[in-house]
Structure 1
Amino acid sequence: MVERLVPDALWELFQRVVPAAPVRARGGGRRRYGDRQVLAAIVFVATTGCTWRQLPQGFGPSGPTAHRRFTERSRARVWGKLHRLVLDELGSRGALDWSRCATDSVNMRDERGDLTGPNPVDRGKKGSKIHLITERTGLPLSIGISAANTHDSQGLELVRGILPSVRSRRGPRRRRPAKLHEDKGYDYDHLGKWLRLRNIVPRLARRGIESSQELGRHRWTVERTVAWLSGCRRLHSRYQREAEHFLAFAGIAATLICFRRLGD
């Protein structure tokens, strides 16, 4: 099961970003479980949505051990670095299409924790919102989280600010799409100026003039990516108090989505 959840190619990339294991000055202590076993356990929890204590014993590390290692990796920003490595591999193969990108958001219910707020589409119940930008074929390039009452236009500035520079098949690294497709929630003058200053052409449905369905032939890819993210059952509802941990699970889901394309 470890080899199935963490293939050799993903394990090689993970080894490049994972911090070195601590060494005891005087030796001794219990044997430390391998990083590949722990990574498989973390992927299992992320995809199945089970609790850490429900982790099967076949992985080796216990639930508390996997959770402690997950927390350490999240603080070290390992998941974001791993996602960027996978994007670099795809970019070097010419598998990323920057000609048209799309952005969208999805709400998640959460009663506690950081970055939560009243959800205007869920009777004011507390929740968080995931914002993402995808390239033309739907691969997630950047993911961010905010309170559920954060406007989509503000969320776009959030994820656009953390969009990594990705390797290209030819030429320098790239981090700016040629066009960005958006729905009516992003139709604001300041946002359009903000994009044009960065040489990004906004493509959106204007409020009261055009139908948002006309952009469906370009924006359906980001809608499909939202459905792919729901395959990470840990994202169905937010159980983590720390927003950093919830963002880490979203980063793991984005990495797995991109890695599937890498294996095709």
Structure 2
Amino acid sequence: MLTDAHGTPLRVSLTGGHRHDVTQLLPLIDSLGPVRGKRGRPRRKPRTLYADRGYDYDVYRRRLRERGITPKIARRGQPHGSGLGRVRWVAESAIAWLHGPRRLRTRWEVRDDMHDAFLQLAHCMTLARKHPAF
């Protein structure tokens, strides 16, 4: 899941349980549309990406920098206390909102496309709750 600074889920993807989360980092970033913000030309990519230790790979840090994104990723093997938890909690909160519907807490569907459909529906429901004007 990719969220903005306020916890609004921007993109959601479904992968197998045996796949590492970092494999979906670049496809999620690349699928992101224009980022709204200040008046003027919309940004095509975020300025900064906050992530936990599971995304601490030099290859992905380098690829993010090539895209003009500053990675703020906690280092593995370092003690806690980096302060990233103060900004990363919004992503954890968005994941909790996404798993609100009982259908998504436990995967009952055998087919991936059905589970992905329910995941996208929950994503739309979360957006509707967070931004009632839509």
In structure 2, the residue matched to 1:156 is 25
Q: Deviations over 1:52-80 (max 9, x none)?
A: xxxxxxxxxxxxxxxxxxxxxxxxxxxxx
Distance 1:213 1:253, change over 3 A: farther
The residue type paired with residue 136 of structure 1 is A
Q: Does 1:202 align with 2:67?
A: no
The residue type paired with residue 203 of structure 1 is K
Q: Does 1:178 align with 2:64?
A: no
> Which one of 76, 94, 101 corresponds to residue 232 of structure 1?
101
Distance 1:240 1:174, change over 3 A: farther
In structure 1, the residue matched to 2:15 is 146
- Per-residue deviation, 1:138: 0.3
- Per-residue deviation, 1:200: 0.6
Q: Does 1:244 align with 2:113?
A: yes
- Per-residue deviation, 1:158: 3.3
User: Contact 2:35/2:46 (CA < 8 Å) preserved in 1?
Assistant: no
Uncovered stretches (5+) of structure 2, i.e. residues with no partner: none
> Which one of 220, 234, 240 corresponds to residue 89 of structure 2?
220
In structure 1, the residue matched to 2:34 is 165
Q: Which moved more, 1:182-191 or 1:204-213?
A: 204-213
User: Contact 1:184/1:212 (CA < 8 Å) preserved in 2?
Assistant: no
- Aligned identity (percent) is 37
Distance in 1 (CA, whole Å) between partners of 2:111 and 2:40 is: 39
Uncovered stretches (5+) of structure 1, i.e. residues with no partner: 1-131
Distance 1:251 1:213, change over 3 A: farther
**Which structure has the larger Rg over C-alpha atoms?**
1
> Which one of 130, 133, 137 corresponds to residue 2 of structure 2?
133
Question: 2:40 is paired with a residue of what secondary structure?
Answer: coil
Question: 1:249 is paired with a residue of what secondary structure?
Answer: helix
Per the normalisation by structure 1, the TM-score is: 0.46
Q: Deviations over 1:90-139 (max 9, x none)?
A: xxxxxxxxxxxxxxxxxxxxxxxxxxxxxxxxxxxxxxxxxx01000100
**Which of the pair has the greater relative contact order for Cα pairs under 8 Å at 6+ separation?**
2
Distance in 2 (CA, whole Å) between partners of 1:174 and 1:252 is: 27
How well do the aligned residues superpose, as a CA RMSD in angstroms?
A: 2.0
